[in-house]
């Protein structure tokens, strides 16, 4: 089974509903495409649960109560004063990286464009701001239990993670007089108040029923599983590694009185040739940048087609053609089970059909054949006007009537891709007006005769892609030229290189007169 369907089935067999798939993020800076693996994995499991008739929700927890840990390169030094303060309580940066006065929080500033990107790929989670969960008092019971069992929790963290905690470690971080958690020391606890002194010499009390402090990450994660009834939350291999926060979270969640989700770990997305994506290293591609060039169903397919324990090498260059071809074949000719098929092949069919289903931006949408990614890439390079492209597609039988919105968006993304640094150079098209001396020297006498005869034969046919293709084959056979060689010769003539898009389609777009003039040259 597909991993999403398998997870849904396992949940149904081992747990009582309702089922809650969860993912989360810390809005500390720009997000990268690597974050989408966790989010789409959780969302696809949620869809699989719904498809299996289960009562399911998908929640997206924003760690807005997390502190600003340092002044990042995109921030001004003015943010030094906010180190240790929750991201929900500090101002958003302006275009110069300085604290703005527009009323938005730092967390909202970075979250909003990310949610916009999620909507474009058909992800509409229930967004939960963690600072509001604290403010509503939903953490209070868990905080009290964490303090009661502080010694047990400390032992769990030290024994599983292998790191030693300070003698003054306390399972709750109150905000000091300046709103920061840094340099704050807990001096006592009288439910519901945690007493503290801070680095400025001030003292006070934090009410655990309000957003006046938070649990450390490993305990916070375990607590929210119980608060929100999380049954499934994919974790990256940094959190899911032995001794990581998932391993400590499981027993801590039980100590706090709840049942944890089963452990589920996914591999990272890597930028081709540059290793795992990382915000701190700058090795990133942003979701909005990605979605400006990659069709959303193709982006979903990249996640859906890959097993969770396999890393994904993300490539916005030539590999995009390969992935798009694979997806388009799956849409146009979905696999079917046949009598006598082996179990292994049946599993392959089920897995591919599920990847096709989960790649759609709208649940339950039945995809139909679309314009080939490669064909659109060719048209977008040789036609300046969108209207000319729609007319060309109508003339070639690829389109009837007006283009639908999804096709218009696909063309927009294709033009963006072609203009970007990501478009592969060997896919760029520069059609020649005539065959130059450099190319002529590469051609044999038989190949030159083939091109001259082809110009004559083209003048005798209706200018359709099928007739162009058959004319190329028939003329090549007259000169004893094999099929692949004939196309290589044509590519040298048209593009000045030995490969290119489908030759008959390219000739159709060049037009009969220009094609004849080129070959005659």
Q: At 438, is the secondary structure helix, strand, or coil?
A: helix
Distances (CA, A) of 1 to 6, 108, 382: 6, 38, 43
Token readout for 395 is 């003339």
For the chain, which domains are there?
373-427 (no CATH), 437-520 (1.10.10.350)
Distances (CA, A) of 426 to 5, 69, 126, 290: 39, 44, 43, 21
Q: Which of 215, 212, 225 is nearest to 171 (CA)?
A: 215
Gap between the Cα atoms of 90 and 96, Å rounded: 16
Find how far residue 518's CA is from the centre of its chain.
Answer: 44
Gap between the Cα atoms of 451 and 471, Å rounded: 12
Residue 285 confidence (pLDDT) = 66
Q: Bin 401: left if φ > 0, else alpha if -120 < ψ < 50, else beta.
A: left
Distances (CA, A) of 433 to 306, 327, 436, 465, 498: 44, 35, 9, 21, 17
Residue 290 confidence (pLDDT) = 83
Assess contact for 137 and 209: CB atoms under 8 A: yes
At residue 453, what are phi and psi to the nearest 5 degrees? -65, -35
Q: Which of 273, 271, 266 is nearest to 238 (CA)?
A: 266
At residue 133, what are phi and psi to the nearest 5 degrees? -65, -40
Assess contact for 491 and 501: CB atoms under 8 A: no
Assess contact for 237 and 310: CB atoms under 8 A: no
Residue 272 confidence (pLDDT) = 67
CB neighbourhood size of 257 (10 A): 11
Assess contact for 175 and 263: CB atoms under 8 A: no
Q: At 61, is the secondary structure helix, strand, or coil?
A: strand
List of the chain residues with pLDDT < 50 = 274-283
What is the residue whose two structure tokens read 């290793």?
275
């Amino acid at each position: 089974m597909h991993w999403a369907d398998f997870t849904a089935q396992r949940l149904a067999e081992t747990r009582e509903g309702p089922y809650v798939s969860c993912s989360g993020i810390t809005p500390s800076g720009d997000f990268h495409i690597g974050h989408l693996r966790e989010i789409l994995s959780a969302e696809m499991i949620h869809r699989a649960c719904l498809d299996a008739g289960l009562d399911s929700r998908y929640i997206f927890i924003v760690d807005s109560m997390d502190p600003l840990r340092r002044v990042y390169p995109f921030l001004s030094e003015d943010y030094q004063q906010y180190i240790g303060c929750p991201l929900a309580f500090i101002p958003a940066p302006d275009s110069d990286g300085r604290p703005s006065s527009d009323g938005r929080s730092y967390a909202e500033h970075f979250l909003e464009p990310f949610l916009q990107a999620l909507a474009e790929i058909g992800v509409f989670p229930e967004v939960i701001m963690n600072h509001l969960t604290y403010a509503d008092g939903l953490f209070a019971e868990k905080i009290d239990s964490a303090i009661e069992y502080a010694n047990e929790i400390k032992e769990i963290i030290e024994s599983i993670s292998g790191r030693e905690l300070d003698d003054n470690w306390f399972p709750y971080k109150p905000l000091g007089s300046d709103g920061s958690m840094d340099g704050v020391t807990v001096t006592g606890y009288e439910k519901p108040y945690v007493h503290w002194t801070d680095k400025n010499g001030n003292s006070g009390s934090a009410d655990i029923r309000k957003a006046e402090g938070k649990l450390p990450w490993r305990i916070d994660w375990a607590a929210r599983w119980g608060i929100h009834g999380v049954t499934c939350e994919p974790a990256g291999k940094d959190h899911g590694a032995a001794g990581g926060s998932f391993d400590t979270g499981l027993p801590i969640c039980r100590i706090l009185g709840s049942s944890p989700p089963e452990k589920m770990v996914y591999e990272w997305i890597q930028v081709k040739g540059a290793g795992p994506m990382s915000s701190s290293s700058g090795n990133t591609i942003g979701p909005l940048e990605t979605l400006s060039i990659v069709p959303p169903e193709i982006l979903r397919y990249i996640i859906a087609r890959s097993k969770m324990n396999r890393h994904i090498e993300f490539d916005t260059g030539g590999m995009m053609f390969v992935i798009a071809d694979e997806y388009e074949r799956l849409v146009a000719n979905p696999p079917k089970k046949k009598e006598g098929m082996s179990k292994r092949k049946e599993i392959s069919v089920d897995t591919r059909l599920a990847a096709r289903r989960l790649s759609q931006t709208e649940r339950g949408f039945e995809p139909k054949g679309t314009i080939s990614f490669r064909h659109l890439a060719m048209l977008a390079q040789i036609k300046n006007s969108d209207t000319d492209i729609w007319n060309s597609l109508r003339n070639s039988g690829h389109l009837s009537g007006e283009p639908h919105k999804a096709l218009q968006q696909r063309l927009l993304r294709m033009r963006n891709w072609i203009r970007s640094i990501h478009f592969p150079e060997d896919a760029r098209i520069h059609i020649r007006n005539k065959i130059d001396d450099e190319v002529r020297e590469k051609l044999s006498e038989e190949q030159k005769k083939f091109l001259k005869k082809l110009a004559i034969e083209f003048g005798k046919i209706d200018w359709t892609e099928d007739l162009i293709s058959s004319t190329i084959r028939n003329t090549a056979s007259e000169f004893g030229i094999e099929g692949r060689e004939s196309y290589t010769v044509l590519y040298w003539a048209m593009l000045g290189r030995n490969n290119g898009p489908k030759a008959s389609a390219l000739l159709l777009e060049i037009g009969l007169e220009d094609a004849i003039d080129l070959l005659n040259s």
